[in-house]
Chain A
Amino acid sequence: MSDIIEVSYTGDLLAHRRCPRSWAYEKHVGLHPYEQVQAMEGHLVHHSMEWLTIQYRRHAADGAPRHATRAELTTQLDRYSKVLHSRGIRTRFASKAEVLERVAHNLYVKGTDEPKPEVKAAVEGALHEEYELRTVRKLIRAGTDGEPILGEGDRKKKVLLTGILDVVVQQQSDFTYHRTWRWTNKRTLEGEPVPDTVVARRNDLEIWDYKGVRADSRYQEDYVRQVVTYTALLEERMRRPDRCVLFFTNEPRAEKRLLVIPIDDEVVAASMEWTLEQVGELRKTELLMQRDPLAVEAGDIRRRGLPLGERITKELKQQCTTCGQRFDCPSYAANLGSTAGDPHPDVDLMNVHKN
């Protein structure tokens, strides 16, 4: 049948890197957890940025450009949260009012109706046409001569890569960033965030990606590779952006909320290569799953080869604690120190106090 493997950057590639086992059961086979654990907050943040942009443009079209006030945003979020609720997306760990307050708090200067500078930069600079270009889809051939992804015997030869691009910004005025990604090895795409000043000039083109996490996420490197890959996907259609920006919407420290990623030919090419490597890894998991589902190992793909208990990162553990496949997961059990005779409450089949 089809020779195309359809891969979502976040839902597949990054999820697979975090835990191939969980990805294989939930995303590949379709064993979805039917209890909606989707973060309402993430939806609200993205909706806020989109709505603020539309409002700003609407006022600008009326000849009086201004940003929506905090109260206006909160009213809109209250309405939108009802839409989300009716679609089964709810807040689980906090009251709705608290979530709405936190979202607004992260976007506005305290006690004012003034959006934070980074929010203003994104809203004012959002290119009208490009802003609606949210779902990036790009067909990539695995090899130049159309070789199968995993060589002879594999039917999949093309990759349909899908990702949600949050916004392409064309700066309307100079804007200063205080944190930059310093590449330590461009070929392997390794690097680290460093305090540094970068000034964006008027008309500079930037790809922004919103991340609903804090700036010190362990997956920062993956996010960097993701946004650089989006550049590679889009550059045939638009000119190459001057830089990429990660916007950590849940980061309380203002100086750490934006991370600038410098790009050049080498990192763009390396990011595409890396992405295709990840697709290859994912395809290996698919085929292993087809041969023997129980052989698919759990835990962070970067920690393969380490003892079972060490394959679960701190952030992955937050995912594991609600994973539907955790009860017989050897890696998670080892990480918790759980044994058949003395099960940890998280994986104890008899524990009715945890879902």
Chain B
Amino acid sequence: MNAEEFIALLNGLPGRAGRPAVRRGDSQWDIITVRPDDRVLQILAGPGSGKTENLVSRILFELFVGIGKPTPASQILVTTFTKKAATELEVRLVERCDALLAHARSQGFDVEDPKIHDLRIGTLHSLCDRLLGEFDDEYTERGTRLIDEHETVVRLAMAYRFDIGIGLIDSLLAIDGVTALFRPPWDGGRWPSTNMDKVKFVQALIAQHTETWVPRCGKNRINNGLEEITREPALTDSLIRLHDKWWAYLDRKNVLDFTAIQEKFLQRQDKLLDNFTHVFVDEFQDTNPIQFAIHTSWLQNESTRLTVVGDDDQSIYRFRGSDIDCFRGLADYCLSEGITYRSGKLEENWRSTRAIVGCSEAFRNLSSLRQVTMDKTVRPAPVAAAGYPVRLLSGPWADLCDVVAAELAAGGVSTEVSGPPEAPVDAAVLLFSTSEKSSRTATKPADEIRRALEAQQLRVYNPRNKTAGVLGSPVHDIFALISYLIDPVRVKRIPGRARAVEVHATCRESDRWPYADSLHKFRIVDGHAQCQKRFRKNNGSGLNAPHPRTAELLDYVDQIRDRLVAATASDKPPALTLAGFVARLLSFPQFRHCGYTPELFRQALLTSLIESHVAPSRETMRSLDSPLRPSRNPETGQIDWPDACWNFLNHFGALLNSTTLDDLEVEAFADNAIAMLTFHQAKGLEFDHVYVGCTGRSISPDNALCTEFFSGRAIPAVVVDGHYQTRDPGVLAMAAADRDREVYVAITRAKQTLTILHDPGDTTGQTHLNPALETLFAQATRTLHPRNPAVQVFSLNTTGTVGGQETQV
């Protein structure tokens, strides 16, 4: 089969959604067909421009045509940014491949099955693990295991003191210029204050060092730019030591975290170079330097081709180490290495209405993106509908929430008042932060939206709510019961104290230990006891007089503890494990009768978190998935629990007390629910109806400086109130573009309607209106919302740019 025949077959496939045929000489032809001299093809693809479809077509071209002969599927590698994207791409490939095969055969072509299942598709981390397992005997024989982020945190917490060394970590924590780089933008300068904050700091530091400094500066041992800025002459050495100590720990345990697997893969990649002919990389704009090194290393094999696709305007992961310079600098890299390079563009938006495309283009031109964007013009597809005008709803947040909920309950279409929707609405509320962790004095915007939506009987899916571990969540309450099983807090009168005091084996005051139910073994953080007490005192009760529903559970745990101790001393030791204990607790009505709510999914989160704690101990002799066998200490009469139990309480307690937890991102949770997502989570998704709020966060140079420093550049900057300030115009432009890209990603998710939300009365941080949006809506038509006159509706009549000219309805 030749290129013309392949394209003709492709044009004949059903399901091309009214798209015009691909013709020789147009941009799609250039993107889909593989040329004999192709080495690197970089595709700049605007939102909704069909990049997945074109990527799939180019892969199929390799499989059916190739260069001279079809390329075997096993020689093709496709990396995506998320698991979800990998599944979507795989589905599309299988669907198109089967259809193309059937169509080709019906047209009389004698084509071989391209064995689409032999393609390797996945996230870079999973592919690194899979390829090393397949091609590197040592990796396989050692049983090296890739660990997820939860387990990484738990292991780091365990390794923190002894394997890495408290002295080294403390010396880094003492340098304000280092901590400021990783401090959350909303923190005023106290972070990292808790032990888990410090663990997260170490994790972020190791990741940035590994992903940026190692590939860019490691080979020539260039100093980290921070060294000059902070005036800490040994800082680079300290970071190398930190990295090496964590690596040594991982190596001893035969595990790799998501950061280390990339470095390991880069070290071993030369073993695999001959196995792949064509490597495809999706979402290349969010590549970090070590990933850039991996992708370009494939080109060491002179017959390997690399196709990358992305959109510089949608690069939003700098805070996790990505650097848009990887995308922008690919052409220069190829030039310097003498590698043939060509580029292609996809500029027609097949996702959104003309109104939405017009709005997003206008935003791009009004925002800081105008100065940094790569050359492209996004146009609506020829078949795109004019669509409803893009709206800005302005009013008190509570009223906005009611309006959003009422609109979605009625079908989510514009401002028309209609009956209930016949089918579930495909809609999303996108916010810069979707934290629902409200305080006594302030309610979070996402929290208010959830309440309003639930009041309309709409289910909400918010996997970044930060409330999955709070009091009342099964994660918190079951852990409180485990804490009560092992180390119950009692209120007792003890000698030397005038009043009854709280006594437990892990309390700080050593004079209380002899009176605790359990034997004190070693010092641990008593965060678990805080959870336990919160749970037992909930609903206004006291420790000794818990609420009847709580009392029933506590009574049960008391009986189980007694039975475990008695059975351990008997001829028939207990078989009950922590897992079995939790399974029993979850069968109580308090948990089982929670309905199909976040509470149900938090039970799943609990089991997942416990697995993270069980796994690190699995290789030891004190595994938590062994039977619980507490014994009675003959001297003190106290209950002696295995060390693994105390370690579990220590780390899980710290996790719950010192960090915020999110719900699991599972498909079932999202089914038939209104998605409430952060701008970052929304990337790659699309919805019929999109509401976007909290668009105006202030510009912070921390992340941009982090990239620069770890790339060996010492940009002048100072730390003020816990965050960096700089006058460097390049860094400031990067930081401003980072902010505006987030908003651009959010508004380009909409297919049918797009609504911006803004409360002018709220002047806190992120709730401002993005300046470019403010300008955009300044001249818009203003009306009052028919459902709630407290809400003003600004309707934008921009319908998109055609041929560079803005047109209007």
Say yes or no: is B422 at the interface (Cβ < 8 Å to chain A). Answer: yes
Inter-subunit contact B94/A354 (CB<8 Å) = no
- Name the interface residues of A17-52: CB closer than 8 Å to any CB of B: 28-36
Cα A236 to Cα B687 with chains together (Å) = 33
Our pick among B117, B574, B667 for the contact of A137 (Cβ within 8 Å) is B117
B119 to chain A, nearest CB (A): 10
> B600: which A residues are within 8 A, CB to CB?
29, 293
How does the 8 Å CB contact mask read for A234-260 relative to B, with 1 for contact and 0 for none?
A: 001110000000000000000000000
Mark the stretch among B48-56, B505-513, B591-599 that contacts chain A: B591-599
Q: Do residues A83 and B141 form an inter-chain contact, with CB atoms below 8 A?
A: yes
Q: Is the CB of A1 within 8 A of B583?
A: no
Q: A350, B607: Cβ atoms under 8 Å?
A: no
Say whether A286 contacts B668, CB under 8 Å. Answer: yes
CB pair A28 B668 closer than 8 Å: yes
**Per-position binary interface string of chain B over residues 139-166, scored 1 when its CB falls under 8 Å from any chain A CB and 0 otherwise:** 0110101000000000000000000000
The stretch of A55-63, A191-199, A320-328 that contacts the partner chain: A320-328
- Say whether B666 faces chain A, with CB atoms less than 8 Å apart: yes
Q: Does A94 touch B at the CB level, under 8 Å?
A: no
Per-residue A-contact encoding for B589-628, CB less than 8 Å = 1, 0 else: 0001101100011011001101100110011000001011
Q: Which residue of B lies closest to A329 (CB)?
A: B587
- Please pick, from B102, B117, B628, the residue contacting A136 in the complex, using a CB distance under 8 A: B117
**A139 is an interface residue with CB less than 8 A from chain B:** yes
CB within 8 Å for A293 and B596 given contacts A33-B583, A83-B141, A350-B563:
yes
Stretch at the interface among A126-134, A206-214, A263-271: A126-134
Min CB–CB distance A143 → chain B (angstroms):
15
A133-B115, A294-B592, A325-B587 are known contacts; what are 10 more A-B pairs with Cβ within 8 Å? A29-B600, A30-B604, A30-B608, A86-B254, A133-B117, A153-B423, A155-B424, A237-B98, A290-B672, A355-B580
Are B560 and A237 within 8 A (Cβ)?
A: no
Q: Is the CB of B563 within 8 A of A352?
A: yes
Residues of B within 8 A of A112 (CB): none
Are A353 and B94 interface neighbours, CB within 8 A? no
> Would you list which residues of chain B between 575 and 594 have a CB under 8 Å from chain A?
575-577, 579-580, 583-584, 586-587, 592-593
Closest to A348 in B: B584
B110 at the interface (CB under 8 A from A): no
Taking a contact as CB atoms under 8 Å apart, the answer to whether A354 and B426 are in contact is no
Cβ A355 vs Cβ B422 within 8 A: no
Tell me whether A314 is interfacial, beta carbon within 8 Å: no
Known contacts A34-B579, A36-B625; A29 and B423 CB within 8 A of each other: no
* Cβ contact of A324, chosen from B567, B586, B625, B671, cutoff 8 A: B586
Cα distance, A182 to B572, chains bound together (Å) = 50
Task: Tell yes or no: B87 within 8 A of A by CB.
Answer: yes
Min CB distance, B76 to chain A, in Å?
13
Cα A129 to Cα B87 with chains together (Å):
23
Q: Is A30 a contact of B666 with CB atoms below 8 Å?
A: yes
A31–B91 touching, CB < 8 Å: no
Query: Does chain B have a CB within 8 A of A120?
Result: no
Q: Decide yes or no: A86 and B619 within 8 Å by CB, A30-B601, A139-B94 being known contacts.
A: yes
Q: Chain B's nearest CB lies how many Å from the CB of A215?
A: 29
Whether B564 pairs with A352 at a CB distance below 8 angstroms is yes
Q: Decide if A354 touches B575 in the complex (CB within 8 Å).
A: yes
Q: How far is it, in angstroms, between the C-alpha of A1 and the C-alpha of B95 when the chains are bound?
A: 19
25 A–B contacts from the bound complex (CB under 8 Å): A29-B600, A31-B603, A31-B607, A32-B607, A33-B579, A34-B608, A83-B140, A139-B98, A155-B423, A155-B424, A155-B672, A236-B98, A236-B101, A237-B116, A289-B596, A290-B459, A291-B596, A293-B595, A294-B592, A294-B593, A324-B583, A325-B583, A325-B587, A352-B574, A355-B575
Q: Collect the chain A residues with CB atoms within 8 Å of residue B603's CB.
A: 29, 31
From B115, B459, B604, B675, contact of A32 by CB (8 A)? B604
Is B664 at the interface (CB under 8 A from chain A)? yes
Interface check A85, CB cutoff 8 A: yes
B102 is contacted by which of A155, A236, A325 (Cβ under 8 Å)?
A236
Chain A residues with CB under 8 A of B584: 327, 349
Q: In the complex, are the beta carbons of B607 and A34 less than 8 A apart?
A: yes
Residues on the B chain within 8 Å of A87, using CB? 143, 145
How extensive is the interface on chain A, given as a class?
A: 35 or more
> Are A355 and B563 interface neighbours, CB within 8 A?
no
Cα(A160)–Cα(B567), bound, Å: 49
* Chain A stretch 143-182: residues in CB contact (< 8 A) with chain B: 152-153, 155, 160
| Set of chain A residues within 8 Å of B672, measured between Cβ atoms | 155, 290
CB-contact partner of B627 in A34, A134, A355, under 8 A: A355
B74: A residues at CB distance < 8 A = 132
- With an 8 A cutoff between CB atoms, is B556 at the interface? yes
B263 within 8 A of A: no
- Bound Cα distance A289, B584 (Å): 21
* Interface assignment of A2: CB less than 8 Å from any CB of chain B: yes
For chain A residues 269-320, which have a beta carbon within 8 Å of chain B?
Answer: 286, 289-294
Instruction: Judge whether B90 is part of the interface by a CB distance below 8 angstroms.
Output: yes
Let me know if A328 and B587 touch, CB within 8 A.
Answer: yes
CB neighbours of A29 from chain B (8 A): 600-601, 603-604, 666, 668
Residues of A within 8 A of B579 (CB): 33-35, 324, 355
Q: State whether B91 touches A153 (Cβ < 8 A).
A: no
B784 interfacial contact with A, CB 8 Å:
no
Q: Is B685 an interface residue (CB 8 A)?
A: yes
List of A residues within 8 angstroms of B614 by Cβ: 34-35
A68 within 8 A of B: no
In the bound complex, residues from chain A placing their C-beta under 8 Å from that of B687 are 1
A300 to chain B, nearest CB (A): 21
Question: Which of B87, B140, B575, B583 makes the CB contact (< 8 A) with A353?
Answer: B575
Given A152-B423, A293-B600, A350-B559: A34 and B610 interface contact (C-beta under 8 Å): yes
Bound together, the chains give a CA A153 to CA B186 distance in angstroms of: 42
Q: Are B117 and A290 in contact (CB under 8 A)?
A: no
B604 lies within 8 A of A31 (CB): yes
Q: In the complex, what residues of A have CB within 8 A of residue B607's CB?
A: 31-34
Chain B residue nearest to A153 (CB atoms) is B423
Q: Is B118 an interface residue (CB 8 A)?
A: yes
Distance, CA A110 to CA B687, complexed state (A): 62
List chain B residues, Cβ under 8 A from A354.
575-576, 580
* B592 A30 Cβ-Cβ under 8 A: no
B91 CB contact (under 8 Å) in A33, A160, A286, A289 = A160
Contact A352 B671 (CB under 8 A): no
In the complex, are the beta carbons of B145 and A355 less than 8 A apart? Answer: no
